[in-house]
Chain A
Amino acid sequence: DTGVSQNPRHKITKRGQNVTFRCDPISEHNRLYWYRQTLGQGPEFLTYFQNEAQLEKSRLLSDRFSAERPKGSFSTLEIQRTEQGDSAMYLCASSMRGSNEKLFFGSGTQLSVL
């Protein structure tokens, strides 16, 4: 069990640039979640997949954000035209459907938009 893997660990970008993050879930987990966390706050839900289907997106999620999970394995989260307000820790988590929704988190990607 290698756990949930996220890359990169840190990303510094200039405002207006596009960034893409990758998440590799625990291999037998069919659900994958993206959360965002800022300092002093709890993780905020962004979107989730069951296998390759994106089943829910937060109403707060801007059109600049898009996520994919091709073939139901790894997932990518892309942010287009980044803004300083996008600076946050982006957390990926996975779970197995029927496991009472126990989520296991990766180490996160810390995004800094200058």
Chain B
Amino acid sequence: QKEVEQNSGPLSVPEGAIASLNCTYSDRGSQSFFWYRQYSGKSPELIMFIYSNGDKEDGRFTAQLNKASQYVSLLIRDSQPSDSATYLCAAINTGTASKLTFGTGTRLQVTL
């Protein structure tokens, strides 16, 4: 079982719709969770982080965390073609390590 799992996609949504990206993790001791956006041929860019159960909103992005279910999600409202990218979920358990563990990423396609 991978430590951080994501559906590789592609997830296709029409412009203006809500994109919902999901991630599960196996280490119950993970405390912090991150979403990175990666355009093709580019490096990952941090877009959201969340530490507490519940929702965290930043502009069009909302991160959701449910530690009991070991589940993290990212919602993108009013999706734009420029949101088309791969979204990487990452987790860290600072009690056992100081490194982020990444999922394989979900490719999002926003269609016109």
Measured CB to CB, the residues of A under 8 A from B are 31, 33, 35, 40-45, 48, 50, 55-56, 89, 91, 100-108
With A100-B49, A101-B32: A41-B104 Cβ-Cβ less than 8 Å:
yes
Measured CB to CB, the residues of B under 8 A from A are 4, 8, 32, 34, 36, 42-46, 49, 51, 88, 90, 92, 94, 97-105
Q: Can you list 6 A-B contacts with CB-CB less than 8 angstroms, sorted by A residue number?
A: A33-B100, A42-B105, A44-B102, A45-B100, A48-B98, A100-B32
Q: Which residues of B contact A45 (CB under 8 A)?
A: 99-101
Q: Which residues of B contact A89 (CB under 8 A)?
A: 43
Partner of B46, one of A40, A41, A44, A102: A102
Q: Are A48 and B99 in contact (CB under 8 A)?
A: yes
